[in-house]
Amino acid sequence: MKWCRFQSGSNVAYGVIEGDRVTAVAGSPFESHTRTATSVPLSGVKLDVPVIPPTFYAAGVNYREHVTEMAHRRGVKPEFPPQADVGYRANNALIPTGEAIVIPKDATELVQYEGELVAVIGKQCKRVSEARALDHVFGYTLGNDVSERTWQRGDRTFWRGKNTDTFKPMGPWIVTGLDPDALRVTIRLNGKEMFTYAVKDAIFGVRTFISRMSQYLTLYPGDVLWMGTDGATENMKDGDVVEVEVPEIGVLRNPVVRER
Amino acid sequence: MKWCRFQSGSNVAYGVIEGDRVTAVAGSPFESHTRTATSVPLSGVKLDVPVIPPTFYAAGVNYREHVTEMAHRRGVKPEFPPQADVGYRANNALIPTGEAIVIPKDATELVQYEGELVAVIGKQCKRVSEARALDHVFGYTLGNDVSERTWQRGDRTFWRGKNTDTFKPMGPWIVTGLDPDALRVTIRLNGKEMFTYAVKDAIFGVRTFISRMSQYLTLYPGDVLWMGTDGATENMKDGDVVEVEVPEIGVLRNPVVRER
């Protein structure tokens, strides 16, 4: 199933996408819900971020080539994470597909994409095994972990380097029933393929993160876990369009605008 | 005014506290709301966390004596933050006053309190001046930034050292109309005063944080900003009771339990 959130009149509603139509749903996919009589063409709706997470988790550095390449550029030795230690991003920065990534005036040119898979938690869980971890995932969507690299370096908490408003595109919708290890992420800039990688090449997979996190914390329905990106990342500039695609999910597409 | 959230039948409702009674409110203090006919004795209600923040901000190290003392214990030089760079905590860890801080089995003895003031945002804001920053604060409550010091050291994101379930007591309620610079925080362990400090001795005050943060991000109603603690902090063990008090607000009181 494909679940979205969209502007329905003056409200934001969850919806189920079937073919080229969206049926509005009363309630949320994580609780009791019922289909309404409202069905509209997908092409005519304004999509919103598919979920507002109670807690917004991010794996951070989680792919070898990304770690190696980014360390190489900075002239330092690559350091791989010893364990699945999760980090955080912030809800203020979320934007849906279609909305502009806005680069602040005082940012350098080093504003870069990071296209990644996002696991959306469906069921509350604590202390789950790796074997049972995926039972608590509702579905998957896509994220672009936009980063201003000079701010990121001086910014222990990533508050500005990664969480400036509009720096966290997420969407276009959530797809259920997928095997994360079978997916491949492709990143395009202005239509040109910049990098493609297999999700399963992660240093730590979705199962490992969920199991380890849940030894200490409770995961709640709607929490999101961004899985990190692979490969080198490049600068985005005013007028660019960046896309993150997993064919089984869809395309997260955002234009880039620099503030004047 | 004093605003709380409390268990009202099977729901959680906002309430206004007047004297020793709570009047339930329909809606939230940040939006349109109306008093209901339900009024109950404060002593009979189960208080919940006074707000679930869309984003949970924390100043982190923000008082000189705390920085100096903690560095001294680790045998390193104190480093003061050069700017008001905010960090994050996570909603999973929130508990209200009265609920137990649960120390996991595998934690060391170095599980410590950090009693602090919490500013609650009332109005959406972006790019506010320091002079206008407090206009966007709804009120103040209290927080205990419980920390497992050995985990914290190896834990760049603080996911486990500070965000293990139950490690973020917040409450007891929100008080409006206060001047943060006039407040003094006192921390007690088993009734004994451990430390007391003036909020205004912070390296960066509420105005400075809100103004700087809002240059890059939008603050939303209900967002919380924990202001950091001062002084040395001590271990808490099974059976202890920890209290954080600001007389103009109230007392945040939590028992401590170690998992067996």
Residue B14 predicted with pLDDT over 90: yes
Q: Is the ipTM of this complex over 0.85?
A: yes
> What is the DSSP-derived secondary structure letter of residue B155?
-
Of the partner residues B91, B155, B217, the one whose CB lies closest to the CB of residue A165? B217
CATH code of residue B157: 3.90.850.10
Beta pairing, strands B168-175 & B192-198: unpaired
Which of B57, B62, B88, B106 to mutate to test binding with chain A, by most A CBs within 10 Å of its CB? B88
**Mind telling me how many Å the CA of B18 is from chain A's nearest CA?**
31
A139 and A30, same structural domain? Answer: no
Residue B141 predicted with pLDDT over 90: yes
Compute the distance between CA of residue A196 and CA of residue A246 in angstroms, rounded to an integer.
10
A147 and A175, same structural domain? Answer: yes
All residues at 6 or more sequence positions from A148 whose CB lies less than 8 Å from its CB, including other chains: A103, A107, A108, A110, A111, A160, A161, A162, A164, A167
Q: What pLDDT score does A9 carry?
A: 81
Q: What pLDDT score does A10 carry?
A: 85
Question: Are B159 and A55 an interchain contact pair (Cβ–Cβ within 8 Å)?
Answer: no
Question: Are A165 and B218 an interchain contact pair (Cβ–Cβ within 8 Å)?
Answer: yes
User: pLDDT tens for residues B85-115?
Assistant: 999 999 999 999 999 999 999 999 999 999 9
Cβ neighbours of A220 in B, within 8 Å: 92
Compute the distance between CA of residue B168 and CA of residue B220 in angstroms, rounded to an integer.
20
B127 and B61, same structural domain? Answer: yes
B135 and B6, same structural domain? Answer: no
A119 and A9, same structural domain? Answer: no
The most distant pair of C-alpha atoms in chain A lies apart, rounded to whole Å, by 59
B199 and B75, same structural domain? Answer: yes
Q: What pLDDT score does A21 carry?
A: 97
Question: Are B165 and A90 an interchain contact pair (Cβ–Cβ within 8 Å)?
Answer: no
User: pLDDT tens for residues A21-74?
Assistant: 999 999 999 999 999 999 999 999 999 999 999 999 999 899 999 999 889 988
A54 and A44, same structural domain? Answer: no
A173 and A75, same structural domain? Answer: yes
Q: What pLDDT score does A74 carry?
A: 87
User: pLDDT tens for residues B22-48?
Assistant: 999 999 999 999 999 999 999 999 999
How many Cβ pairs closer than 8 A exist between chain A and B?
82
B55 and B137, same structural domain? Answer: yes
Helix locations, chain B, DSSP H: 64-74, 130-133, 149-153, 206-213
Q: Which chain A residue has its CA at the smallest distance from B53's CA? A: A54
CATH code of residue B1: 2.30.30.370
Q: What pLDDT score does B62 carry?
A: 95
End residue of a domain, out of A48, A67, A83: A48
Which of A148, A217, A224 to mutate to test binding with chain B, by most B CBs within 10 Å of its CB? A217
Query: Using CA atoms in the order A244, A107, B220, B173, what is the torsion angle rounded to 10 degrees?
Result: 110
Of the partner residues A86, A87, A90, the one whose CB lies closest to the CB of residue B55? A90
pLDDT category at B135 given cuts 50, 70, 90 is very high
Mean pLDDT of the B208-227 span: 98
**Mind telling me how many Å the CA of A217 is from chain B's nearest CA?**
5
Of the partner residues B54, B87, B126, the one whose CB lies closest to the CB of residue A91? B54
Question: Are B157 and A217 an interchain contact pair (Cβ–Cβ within 8 Å)?
Answer: no
A27-32: long-range pairs with CB below 8 Å, 24+: A28/A222, A29/A3, A29/A122, A29/A138, A29/A174, A30/A122, A30/A138, A30/A221, A30/A222, A31/A221
Question: Are B87 and A156 an interchain contact pair (Cβ–Cβ within 8 Å)?
Answer: yes
Q: What pLDDT score does B115 carry?
A: 98
B→A interface, C-beta within 8 Å:
52, 54-55, 60, 85-88, 90-93, 104, 126, 155-157, 159-160, 163-165, 213, 216-220
Question: Are B157 and A86 an interchain contact pair (Cβ–Cβ within 8 Å)?
Answer: yes
Mean pLDDT of the B197-205 span: 97
A114 and A27, same structural domain? Answer: no
The total number of structural domains in chain B stands at 2
End residue of a domain, out of B15, B31, B48: B48
Q: What pLDDT score does A11 carry?
A: 87
Q: Which chain A residue has its CA at the smallest distance from B151's CA? A: A85
Which positions of chain A have pLDDT values less than 50?
Answer: none
Q: Which domain holds residue B18?
A: 1-48
A188 and A219, same structural domain? Answer: yes
B23 and B108, same structural domain? Answer: no
Q: Which chain B residue has its CA at the smallest distance from A155's CA? A: B85
Query: What pTM, to 2 d.p., does this model score?
Result: 0.96
Question: Are A91 and B55 an interchain contact pair (Cβ–Cβ within 8 Å)?
Answer: yes
Question: Are A60 and B157 an interchain contact pair (Cβ–Cβ within 8 Å)?
Answer: yes
Q: Which chain A residue has its CA at the smallest distance from B56's CA? A: A90
Of the partner residues B88, B104, B164, the one whose CB lies closest to the CB of residue A90? B88
Residue B74 predicted with pLDDT over 90: no
